[in-house]
Structure 1
Amino acid sequence: MASLVIPGQPLSAQGPSAQLAPGPGTFSRGGQVYAALVGQVSREGGVLSVKGKEETQAIPEPNATVIGTVTRITRQAATLSLLTVDGRPCRPDFTGIIRAQDVRQTAKDSVKIWSCYRPGDVVRAKVISLGDSRSYFLSTAANSLGVLFAVSSTTGEPLEAVSWEEMRDVTTDEREPRKVAGPE
């Protein structure tokens, strides 16, 4: 098995999920195994792993494109655990913050973080500054930036993009607001 995956992509479709365990470069949530790195999938026995395209780990710098998982939401910002920097894996202790004013290019004053991101969403963002000692400041104020992958808050099923501000559950047709990333 040698397919290219991105962070947050479900891997259980590669085989029966009940018998698969997460290995290096993967994580498990809700009984599903997901990729944590950009790289090639391999399966040895009942263990799925992802080997990154490059073994060197990247460090976020201004103007770098990052992919991360939303870990926390407040009224003013979303906190991400960064997974990749410009397509290369990074250390798991890098975090980024998307402030409300950095979500969109227009209508910045009316942004509600909860209607743009939810915990567990996989987001593509741009590093705008080094921030403080704990986090990088990130922006999704471009059409190609925003939520790449999300699951329904009610069913746990993957959502698909409907527009730049909405995703839907394909099984129930229920729609949820998000700041959706367009194609690069």
Structure 2
Amino acid sequence: MAASIAVCVPGERLGSTSDYHAGPGTYCKQGFVYSSLAGFKHVQETAKDELPKMQIVRDEQETIVPQVGLVVTTKVVNVNPRFCRCAILSVEGKPLRQSFRGQIRREDIRATEKDRVEMYKCVRPGDVVLAKVMSLGDAQSYLLTTAENELGVVLAQSEAGVNMVPISWCEMICPKTHQKEFRKVAKVQSQYIQKEFNKVPSKHSQHRT
């Protein structure tokens, strides 16, 4: 029988080799068992005098996790001059069972003039952003990039609580107040923008932090 089941990602530390044997989909390194696959952590009980076996079980129809090279929909949580933190909500348009942490660094915002990027002129907290997974970073936080024309902010709300409209690759405007704001705007179809917006609560329905 399985003692525990949980979603895990490649490189995630699953336990100590003093507590578990490494099974399929895992490997040992410096006294710990790590996942080598995306899937479900499965602890298989063994004989009484043997350690339980840690393994990764994959169900392609049920398990959806971010993977390198895939496009993800994220919501920006906070922004500082060096990077922004995001919650990954869906992968290739498919919603996740749970959100994963993501990070977009200043140098990965766009492909050109990287040294002139100002984070707060590209993304802001609450923005919905299309990004591509680059790699698994530190502390199980995926490294993301928006350095393609099709990637970037797809939804942003003005201070008036209105969906802003893109007017260029770097600006959006509030149709109510006509105030312009800087963003790294994604070039996507309006139908996709509306579909993604319906998944994300308005910032006025949440407590401000």
TM-score range, shorter chain: 0.5 to 0.7
The answer as to 2:62 corresponding to 1:56 is yes
The structure 2 residue matched to 1:130, chosen from 133, 136, 149, is: 136
Choose the corresponding residue for 2:184, options 169, 175, 179.
179
- The structural deviation recorded for 1:115 is 0.6
**Equivalent of residue 79 in structure 1, options 65, 78, 85:** 85
Secondary structure of 1:114's aligned partner = helix
Count residues with an aligned counterpart: 130
2:94 maps to amino acid: R
State yes or no: 1:107 paired with 2:113.
Answer: yes
Question: Could you state the TM-score of these two structures normalised by the residue count of structure 1?
Answer: 0.67
Q: What code does the residue aligned with 1:131 have?
A: G
Counterpart code for 2:187: G
Report the Cα offset of residue 90 of structure 1.
Answer: 1.5
| Partner residue, 1:155 | 160
- Structure 1, gaps ≥5 residues long: 1-53
C-alpha separation in 2, matches of 1:141 and 1:107? 11
- Secondary structure, counterpart of 2:140 in structure 1: coil
Query: In the aligned structure 1, how far is the partner of 2:169 from the partner of 2:70?
Result: 22
Q: Do structure 1's residue 89 and structure 2's residue 95 form an aligned pair? A: yes
User: Is the Cα–Cα contact under 8 Å of residues 78 and 97 in structure 1 kept in the other structure?
Assistant: yes
Task: Indicate yes or no: 2:146 matched with 1:140.
Answer: yes
- Which runs of structure 1 show a deviation greater than 2 angstroms over 4 or more consecutive aligned residues? 54-57
Q: TM-score, with normalisation over the residues of structure 2?
A: 0.59
Percentage identity across aligned positions? 42
Q: For residues 66 and 146 of structure 1, what CA distance do their matches in structure 2 show? A: 11
1:110-140 per-position Cα deviation (integer Å, ceiling 9, x unaligned): 1011110011000000001111123000000
Any idea what the Cα deviations from partners look like across 1:6-54, whole Å, max 9, x if unmatched?
xxxxxxxxxxxxxxxxxxxxxxxxxxxxxxxxxxxxxxxxxxxxxxxx9
TM-aligned CA deviation for residue 55 of structure 1: 7.4
Give the gaps of 5 or more residues in structure 2.
1-59, 190-209
Q: CA deviation at 1:143?
A: 0.2
Highest RCO, 1 vs 2 (Cα 8 Å, sep ≥ 6): 1
